[in-house]
Amino acid sequence: LNANAIAGTLEITNKGDGSIDLADLLINYYFTKDGGSMVFDCYHAAINSSSGSYTALTDDIDGTFTSCTGEDRDTCLTISFGDGTLDEGDTLTISFSCHRSDWQKMDLSNDWSHKSVENIEIII
């Protein structure tokens, strides 16, 4: 499977008994870089509260790339958040992509996190 970007939308719902400080939340996506320098884009991020309110977060999202080792990975994209709180029952939605700076195709078939949503790590 080849594509010029790794892209997706993640939804994270707080099913716990308390609030989550978004500054403490990290999402790790593991992949094989296939050369070149990488770029992160956040297209949309927001909290949809259980009470029906909407809080835009798109400008408060960062993506950083670090080297790593393991099965079908040499790079980790870590998505982090600025200020905000994910209260009980609220859902955080983030639509993102990462791509090579020259937009050359990447082989997604050898990417750890692309193989299964369970291979995307959420750290609180």
pLDDT tens sequence across 18-68 = 999 999 999 999 999 988 899 999 999 999 998 999 999 999 999 999 999
pLDDT of residue 1: 84
| pLDDT over threshold 90, residue 83 | no
The whole-angstrom separation of Cα 61 and Cα 106 is 24
At 5, give phi and psi (nearest 5°): -160, 155
Quick: pLDDT tens for 2-16.
999 999 999 999 999
Q: Provide the pLDDT confidence category of residue 72 given band limits of 50, 70 and 90.
A: very high
| pLDDT over threshold 90, residue 104 | yes
Q: Please name the residues in contact with 59: beta carbons below 8 A apart, sequence gap of 6 or more.
A: none
The whole-angstrom separation of Cα 5 and Cα 39 is 10
